[in-house]
């Protein structure tokens, strides 16, 4: 089995910079993302002498334009960042609005269904002003950069400002997603303008967001709370059929948390802790696979072969059962309690994206972001399409609009890092809604238990389990594997090729050198600097 090396010390190289007031020394590093413009924005920060957090913040802001079907400042996200000595999770997910409404909370909401055609299959999503939760990602990025970044904010926002003003042609993957969510993003002219030009052709441009980001770089968080916060309440308050109040905006604050840690031999896996569900379920799967009573010994089985695949599918089934409720299995109590609150009833699109960065100084950053599918309502002055997270069934398990105001919403997002003998060796995460847990667990097992390279682990065929149903990708499966799985599962859905359904694991690592793997399922791109 191959043994991965841990990241060494800094490897800076000198570079010129047009500004005469400071000398720039390029930071070596690598970024993996879902779009070339997103990845290039992060690489640019490394060339400017920034660290992994500078890179991921710049990349995320650029993704608000280049990956607008998947994320935006009107959405939410979770960041894992830091060094081996001090790792942080910044939870900038959404909060249930409605503080101070009292009886007004029961007034008719602007909340309705939209049917989306996936090509042979239809799904109903819930959108409108009443679907908007308190968004946190933009404030989260600002606080992460203030605490952990080192470049001037004006430098950090520059790639996103340029992308917003110049616009860009959507990638092939983005074009496909735009077509899927067209019924939502054409609900209002202001939203459609973010995705289509005046002739109706798909084009991603957002000059008003560019203006706002420049102003935010100058004025900071107070502008978010005053200017943007006021617009949120005016657009989605009770007078307009929403639940957002000034008290919600004033109270919202991203939460810094200690990461959840799980040992695996010489490695330690760090990920998103409760109250989110994804990291706990991935950790649960790793503990089941590595426990003394598991008897799995995955590294002794032919990789992806019948026995390996059936054992991994059993692990996926175990964490699926934990997600719904316990059936007497020796499962982690925290994961089971989270699972009770987040039982999934459908398989949503998973309009989510992920970024991973590892720099040559040993800092990691992994960020997962979403707007759900978006609610169809845009704050036109700011160019911000708002989320529909109150309309997502998987994170509203007891029904829509039943959670108390101020409730921190749970998520399957699980940005993850691995320390090998105390040093960063792997950084990864994925979009994909409830498939996040399956995609991450399998990728980690391919690397940790079977010693596969990062590239092999990301491109390997995936499975996902819910109840008695199993989904799998045929491409790359050894002969006999699918037959073995069909012999153990009541219902099997096999997809011929790698599919966006199974997420998009964008990962970076150090295996003697900095390298990365962008998931082809979601247009993955890697940029290396130095």
β-pair partners for 507: 517
Q: Classify residue 241 as exposed, middle or buried by CB count within 10 Å of its CB (0-12, 13-18, 19+).
A: middle
Distance in angstroms (rounded) separating the CA atoms of residues 388 and 376:
8
Tens-place pLDDT, residues 302-351: 999 999 999 999 989 988 888 654 333 334 454 444 333 333 333 445 57
pLDDT at 324: 59
Cα-Cα-Cα-Cα dihedral sign, residues 511, 513, 518, 520: negative
Q: Which token pair is 360?
A: 């040559």
pTM score of the predicted model: 0.90
Report the C-alpha gap between 58 and 56 in whole angstroms: 6
pLDDT value of residue 429: 97
C-alpha separations of 485 from 208, 329, 387, 463, 495 in Å:
51, 22, 38, 10, 14
CA-based nearest residue to 94, from 73, 63, 112, 124: 73
What pLDDT score does 296 carry?
60
Sign of CA dihedral 293, 299, 302, 303: positive
What share of the chain in percent tops pLDDT 90?
A: 75
The answer, yes or no, to whether residue 270 has pLDDT greater than 70, is: yes
Q: 429 with 505: CB under 8 angstroms? A: yes
Q: Are 505 and 430 in contact (CB under 8 A)?
A: yes
Q: pLDDT at position 331, please?
A: 41
pLDDT in tens, 374-387: 999 999 999 999 99
pLDDT digits (tens, 9 = 90+) for 63-103: 999 999 999 999 999 999 999 999 999 999 999 999 999 76
**Cα separation of 16 and 26, whole Å?**
9
Q: How far is the C-alpha of 286 from the C-alpha of 72, rounded, in Å? A: 32
For residue range 171-180, what is the model confidence (pLDDT) as tens digits?
A: 998 999 999 8
410: which 2 tokens? 């749970």
> From CA 64, how far away is CA 163, in angstroms rounded?
9
Q: Edge to edge, what strands does the sheet with 469-473 contain?
A: 463-466, 469-473, 491-495
Does the pLDDT of residue 9 top 80, yes or no? Answer: no
Note the pLDDT of residue 228.
94
Neighbours of 283 (CB within 10 A): 27
Confidence at residue 90, expressed as pLDDT on a 0 to 100 scale: 98
Sequence-ordered list of residues with C-beta below 8 angstroms from that of 523, at least 6 positions apart, any chain:
34, 35, 171, 172, 173, 174, 504
Query: Residue 329's pLDDT is what?
Result: 34
Question: What is the structure's pLDDT at 23?
Answer: 64
Dihedral sign (CA 301, 303, 305, 307): positive
The Cα-based distances of 206 to 66, 185, 386 in angstroms read 10, 14, 14
pLDDT at 397 over 60: yes
Positions annotated as catalytic residues are 352
Contact 27/17 with Cβ under 8 angstroms? Answer: no
Note whether 419 and 425 are within 8 A (CB).
Answer: yes
Q: Which residues of 490-506 are buried (b: 16+ CB within 10 A; e: fewer)?
A: eebeeeeebebbbbbbb
pLDDT tens column, 12-68: 333 333 344 556 789 999 999 999 999 999 999 999 999 999 999 999 999 999 999
In this structure, the strands spanning 491-495 and 469-473 are parallel
Q: How far apart are CA 144 and CA 254, in angstroms?
A: 10
Strand pairing report for 267-271 and 416-420: antiparallel
Burial tier of 29 (Cβ tally within 10 Å: 0-12, 13-18, 19+): buried
* Mean pLDDT score across all residues of the chain: 88
Whole-angstrom Cα distance, residue 338 to residue 441?
A: 18
Name the β-bridge partners of 428: 416
């Amino acid at each position: 089995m191959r043994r991965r090396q841990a990241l060494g010390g800094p490897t800076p190289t000198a570079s010129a910079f047009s500004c005469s007031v400071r000398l720039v020394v390029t930071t070596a590093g690598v970024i993996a993302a879902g779009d070339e413009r997103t990845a290039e924005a992060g690489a640019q920060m490394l060339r400017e002498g920034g660290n992994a957090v500078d890179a991921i913040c710049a990349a995320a802001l650029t993704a608000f334009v280049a990956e607008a079907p998947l994320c935006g400042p009107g959405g939410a996200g979770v960041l894992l960042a830091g060094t081996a000595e001090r790792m942080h999770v910044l939870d900038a997910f959404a909060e249930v609005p409605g503080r101070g409404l009292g009886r007004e909370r029961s007034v008719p909401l602007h909340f309705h269904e939209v049917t989306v055609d996936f090509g042979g299959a239809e799904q109903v999503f819930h959108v409108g002003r009443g679907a908007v939760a308190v968004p946190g990602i933009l404030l989260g990025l600002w606080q992460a950069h203030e605490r952990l970044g080192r470049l001037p904010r004006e430098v950090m926002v520059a790639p996103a400002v340029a992308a917003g003003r110049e616009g860009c042609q959507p990638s092939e993957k983005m074009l496909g997603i735009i077509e899927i969510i067209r019924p939502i993003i054409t609900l209002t002219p202001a939203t459609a303008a973010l995705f289509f030009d005046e002739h109706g052709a798909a084009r991603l441009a957002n000059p008003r967001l560019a203006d706002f980001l420049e102003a935010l770089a100058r004025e900071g968080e107070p502008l978010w709370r005053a200017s943007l916060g006021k617009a949120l309440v005016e657009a989605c308050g009770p007078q307009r059929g929403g639940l957002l109040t000034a008290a919600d905006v004033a109270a919202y604050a991203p939460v810094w948390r200690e990461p959840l840690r799980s040992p695996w031999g010489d490695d330690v896996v760090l990920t998103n802790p409760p109250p989110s569900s994804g990291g706990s379920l991935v950790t649960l799967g790793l503990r089941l696979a590595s426990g003394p009573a598991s008897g799995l010994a995955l590294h002794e089985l032919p990789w992806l072969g019948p026995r390996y695949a059936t054992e991994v599918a059993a692990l996926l089934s175990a964490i699926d059962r934990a997600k719904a409720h316990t059936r007497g299995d020796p499962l982690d109590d925290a994961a089971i309690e989270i699972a009770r609150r987040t039982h999934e009833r459908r398989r949503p699109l998973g309009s989510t994206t992920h970024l991973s960065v590892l720099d040559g100084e040993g800092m990691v950053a992994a960020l997962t972001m979403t707007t759900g599918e978006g609610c169809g309502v845009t704050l036109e002055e700011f160019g911000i399409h708002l989320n529909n997270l109150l309309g997502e069934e998987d994170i509203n398990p007891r029904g829509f609009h039943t959670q108390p105001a101020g409730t921190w919403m749970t998520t399957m997002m699980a940005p993850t890092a691995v320390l090998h003998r105390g040093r960063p060796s792997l950084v990864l995460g994925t979009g994909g809604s409830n498939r996040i847990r399956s995609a991450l667990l399998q990728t980690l097992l391919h690397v940790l238990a079977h010693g596969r390279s990062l590239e092999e682990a990301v491109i390997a065929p995936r499975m996902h389990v819910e109840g008695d149903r199993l989904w799998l990708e045929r491409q790359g499966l050894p002969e006999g594997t699918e037959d073995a799985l069909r012999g153990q599962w009541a219902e099997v859905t096999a997809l011929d090729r790698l599919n966006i359904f199974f997420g998009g694991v964008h990962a970076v690592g150090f295996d003697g050198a900095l390298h990365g793997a962008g998931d082809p399922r979601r247009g993955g791109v890697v940029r290396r600097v130095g």
